Amino acid sequence: MKTRLDAPVGIDALAVAIPHRYLDLEDLARARDIDPAKYTQGLGAREMAVAEPGEDTVSLAASAARRALHIAQLDPRDLGLLIVGTETGVDHSKPVASFVHGLLGLPRAMRVYDTQHACYGGTAGLMTAVEWIASGAAGGRSALVICADIARYGVATAGEPTQGAGAVAMIVSSSPSILELDVGVTGASSTHVHDFWRPLGHREAQVDGHYSVECYLDAVATAYRGWRARAIARELIRADSPASEQLAALCYHVPFCKMARKAHLHVRRCDLEDAAAPWDPSTESLRAETHFRNQVEPSLHLCARIGNVYTGSLYLGLAGLLHTRGDLARRRIGLFSYGSGCTSEFFSGLIGPRASDRIAAAQLDSLLASRARISIDEYHRLMALTAPLLEPPPPGTFRFTGVDAHRRQYVAA
């Protein structure tokens, strides 16, 4: 079959859904008798989204998807593929995508399924959609890719301040207003490790926290070097200067904001170690800080206020970057997706000419502003699942209302 690797394909619209409640991390730190600076500076986190019983992975995914379809003004009959990347689904068999397909009334004649590999599941969906379109198999149709998760480690655990929840929905098409991917120019890294997992039947993840940070850094180095070699071979970047400096910005998977900083310093180190020229560690540390502040930090402000969204965190970073920087049109950025266990991918793309308008349409500021801050007692009730369902549901969202004859029920507001 004739393929179209050089024809544009990528993200045309993006929308976010988040829980309507959040906990301020200074309140959490005081309740745990911990210096708040450990959370705010040590982890780089300010607030954490807390899902209520009516806000499950399906309701968040469907709410984000409805907004994305509206922003793209896409006729649902032009969709041929719906993939939900999630590691916190609601059923052992029926995928979240199937619920979303029904709630949005999408056409029958399309593929509908979930993808799972920890936080990488959404990127697996995005890559499948992009390559489906680039191969020509899509026949002009678009794809809906949703990353939706509720990140829970449990009360008074080391992972507690890195919880969060939300969904990012993306329309993937051959007219990518937001991000045109460099199809086929990616680097992957996978190893069988037990850094983070969630045994069947458990709501909370198990994690070997410090080891998981090491696994992430190990993965980003291999994936980045793989991407760099392909990007040089395709002449997207030059071989004679550090690749990371040729990217206008970088977005990383963000389990907590400090992790993106660690990852970025590691990527720079890869460039310096692999360069033939000697480098001076004393001047590099200042350059690396400046580089981080300009090229990575703008992507972190949404993540710092929502927390980890597992599959969605990288794309929340992308949304945050475009929301903060309006100067990126037609410039190349790098993205790193990490799924514990582990698999990962570094990839790149060109920011589309209408990216700023598209992100403005996602109304991210009003989404954050419409949330309510909860007390530590309310947070404990929500974690123990003893809080009542919120009535009535906020407009524009879907809500889980209960189980009837083993069937999950939802309402649209």
Q: Which of 20, 55, 101, 119 is catalytic?
A: 119
* Count of residues engaged in binding ligand CAA, rule: CB under 6 A: 27
Footprint of ligand CAA on residues 220-249 (CB under 6 A)? Answer: none
Shortest distance (Å) from residue 42 CB to ligand CAA: 2
Which one of residues 63, 142, 212, 337 is an interface residue with ligand CAA (CB under 6 A)? 212
User: Rounded distance, CA 57 to CA 67, Å?
Assistant: 16
Nearer to ligand CAA, 12 or 149 (CB): 149
Q: Compute how many other C-beta atoms are within 10 angstroms of the C-beta atom of residue 230.
A: 18
CA angle 344-332-289, nearest 5°? Answer: 75
Tell me which residue has its CB nearest to ligand CAA. Answer: 42
Q: Does 41 bind ligand CAA (CB under 6 A)?
A: yes
User: Rounded distance, CA 61 to CA 83, Å?
Assistant: 11
Nearer to ligand CAA, 98 or 116 (CB): 116
Q: Compute how many other C-beta atoms are within 10 angstroms of the C-beta atom of residue 104.
A: 18
The helix (H) or strand (E) run that includes residue 262 is helix 257-274
- Encoding tokens for residue 97? 């995508």
User: Rounded distance, CA 120 to CA 110, Å?
Assistant: 23
Q: Does 376 bind ligand CAA (CB under 6 A)?
A: no
Nearer to ligand CAA, 186 or 340 (CB): 340
Q: Which of 47, 55, 87, 297 is catalytic?
A: 87
Q: Which of 253, 291, 301, 323 is catalytic?
A: 253
Q: Is 342 a catalytic residue?
A: no
Mapping DSSP onto H, E and C, the string for 56-106 reads: CHHHHHHHHHHHHHHHHCCCHHHEEEEEEECCCCCCCCCCHHHHHHHHCCC
Q: Does 86 bind ligand CAA (CB under 6 A)?
A: no
Q: Does 400 bind ligand CAA (CB under 6 A)?
A: no
Q: Does 162 bind ligand CAA (CB under 6 A)?
A: yes
Instruction: Enumerate binding residues for ligand CAA (CB under 6 A).
Output: 35, 37-38, 41-43, 119, 158-159, 162, 195-196, 207, 209-210, 212-213, 216, 253, 255-256, 258-259, 308, 310, 338, 340
What residues act catalytically?
A: 87, 119, 253
